Amino acid sequence: MSYLFTSESVSEGHPDKIADQISDALIDNFLAFDSESKVACETLVTTGQVILAGEVKSKTYLDVQQIARDVIRKIGYTKSEYMFEANSCGILSAIHEQSQDINQGVDRTTKEEQGAGDQGMMFGYATNETENYMPLALDLSHALLIELANLRRENAEITYLRPDAKSQVTLEYSDDNKPQRIDAIVISTQHDDFDEEATMLAKIKSDLVSILIPRIKAKYPQYAHLFNDQITYHINPTGKFVIGGPHGDTGLTGRKIIVDTYGGKGAHGGGAFSGKDPSKVDRSAAYATRHIAKNLVAAGIADEILVQVSYAIGVAKPTSINVVTYGTSKVNLTDGEISKKVESIFDMRPYFIEQRLKLRNPIYSETAAYGHMGRKPETVTKIFRTPNGDEKTVTVELFTWEKLDFVDKVKAEFGL
């Protein structure tokens, strides 16, 4: 019997995502001027206020207030009527030095023996139901909001959009776990005030169905066949959505971990990503397990794969590595035997993850909205500045964990 599965996404203007983007902008600036920086930075946003807190060990000094304002401005909070605006919001920094007790467990005389920055388990997932090896419902949820943000910035076809938004996509799957059609789409978007609420609701629903959806179908032709006349649309189902962003809801770093990963598919170890330098395995090992899972699926090991790794704080070698193929394996090996081969291909000690995926670079701002996984690897040039006038231009690779650079090694190891 067929079944339904749902995933959601949130826009860059969602309060929790504002917090994530500020935290990751701080990470990038610290790493740009001191690649060995140790940072754990949390952000809280609410009406007219930003609070920064966390622990830092770094040789560089930053104007954290200016960095936060630049992020808020880029997102689009530039009008006083939003009750949260880049130039006027208050910013309080309570960032202090990293605990020496933690630092002594991470730093080692030999870099290769760098210990894990915390205990815990991390998961990576991949499926061949999409071209980027991501769960389809989440991929579509992200796509809807990316295109909605494009429409907002263009300010041409739709002129009343504000930065805060959420989406949700429900898919119908067949008995053999193949997506058949879109059953429902939910979009809640912040908007300017209208004179009449009934007119407003009709206008927003009409615009999103007649403008946004065709753009999605054109931009992602591989998904066009999933759209149909029977889709149930819930557009701003509560009605008016003028009060939004941090004025409508307080935002915190790390509160959208399922949006950031696989939309409820696979599993999650519970650790957030944003605001953490790569010595924190919550982040680096989650990227590494995604890299493994994607390369395994792309190599034809299985249709769907979940990889788990776990660590003890201060210890380099993982306490476990496990691969689950959900019965979709294409090789004549048990999941345990596949796990052993994976262990021989991918060195999961924290230093080697950092080196393999080039994680000590300022690459994290781009991860902080629309998901950390399934994104396109690319090389970009960035410019960073310090309060004393230092400027640094760096060229970095983004989303290195999405590269299919281990497919040949996997095939060789498995005899494919």
Rounded-to-integer distance, Cα 413 and Cα 411, Å: 6
Helix (H, G, I), strand (E, B) or coil at 265: coil
* Residue 288 in marked binding region: no
DSSP code of residue 264:
T
Assign residue 346 a region (left: φ > 0; alpha: ψ between -120 and 50; beta: otherwise): beta
* Residue 317 in marked binding region: no
* Residue 79 in marked binding region: no
With CA atoms as reference, report the closest residue to 179 among 231, 218, 136, 128: 136
Tokens representing residue 365 in the block: 């701002």
* Residue 98 in marked binding region: yes
Strand 120-127 to 304-311 pairing: antiparallel
* Residue 255 in marked binding region: yes
> Phi, psi at residue 118, to the nearest 5°?
-165, 165
Tokens representing residue 9 in the block: 């996404």
HSE-CB of 216 using CA atoms within 13 angstroms: 23
* Residue 358 in marked binding region: no
* Residue 409 in marked binding region: no
In terms of Cβ atoms closer than 10 Å to its own Cβ (0-12, 13-18, 19+), residue 94 is exposed
* Residue 403 in marked binding region: no
* Residue 356 in marked binding region: no
* Residue 340 in marked binding region: no
* Residue 165 in marked binding region: yes
Q: Which residues contact 80 (CB under 8 A, 6 or more apart)?
A: 88
* Residue 256 in marked binding region: yes
Binding residue positions for K(+) = 42
Binding residue positions = 14, 16, 42, 55, 98, 164-166, 240-241, 249, 255-256, 272, 276, 280
Binding residue positions for L-methionine = 55, 98, 249, 280
Binding residue positions for Mg(2+) = 16
Binding residue positions for ATP = 14, 164-166, 240-241, 249, 255-256, 272, 276
